[in-house]
Amino acid sequence: MRRSTSTGPAPSRSGTPSLVYDSGEEFEQITAGAYPDDFNSDNDENDSYESRSDAKGPEPEDAEIGVIGDRTYAFICLERIGGVMVYDVSDPAAPEFIEYVNNRDFDGDPDLGTAGNLAPEGLCFVSAEDSPNGMPLLIVSHEVSGTLSVYQVNDRAAPSAA
């Protein structure tokens, strides 16, 4: 897995995994749309447009699955440009893109610690029943900024007032 994410049944003793979906260039289409001036930036410097285009692009780094209500979601963090892709993978053969969130600051200075959260490395989903505030959470660790982000995952059917 380099630039895209794939879904398929888990390997079993009797069989081998088979690919049922691959996101192709969708991550790069989405990040290019969100950050046309910072597409395929690196994670330790700003104004680095396209610097990762020849080397893994956004670099999907970790993936986590979370069940909320009757839906199953996949969260995929992008180590270079930053942020997290959210897909509804309740139908593994037809994942639905939900949103892309990135709390990096492209106007800040990574060396001064003013560029937000850089280089998401690991993800941890906390289900509502295990969450201290009763809402599902996604915890994201960042390798370059040395920071943690905690996102509350709101139900799409009942968005929070905030």
Footprint on this chain of Ca ion (rule: CB under 5 A): 61, 79, 121, 143
Q: Which amino acid is at 135?
A: M
Least distance (Å) between residue 90 CB and Ca ion: 27
Least distance (Å) between residue 134 CB and Ca ion: 31
- HSE-CB at 91 with a 13 A cutoff on CA atoms is 5
Measured from the CB atom, is 54 or 70 closer to Ca ion?
A: 54
Least distance (Å) between residue 80 CB and Ca ion: 8
Identify the helix (H) or strand (E) that includes residue 148.
strand 148-152
Measured from the CB atom, is 92 or 122 closer to Ca ion?
A: 122
Least distance (Å) between residue 107 CB and Ca ion: 24
Contact predicate 51/80, CB 8 Å: no
Measured from the CB atom, is 38 or 61 closer to Ca ion?
A: 61
Structure tokens at 63: 């993936």
Measured from the CB atom, is 23 or 141 closer to Ca ion?
A: 141
96-101 β-sheet, strand order? 60-68, 71-78, 84-88, 96-101
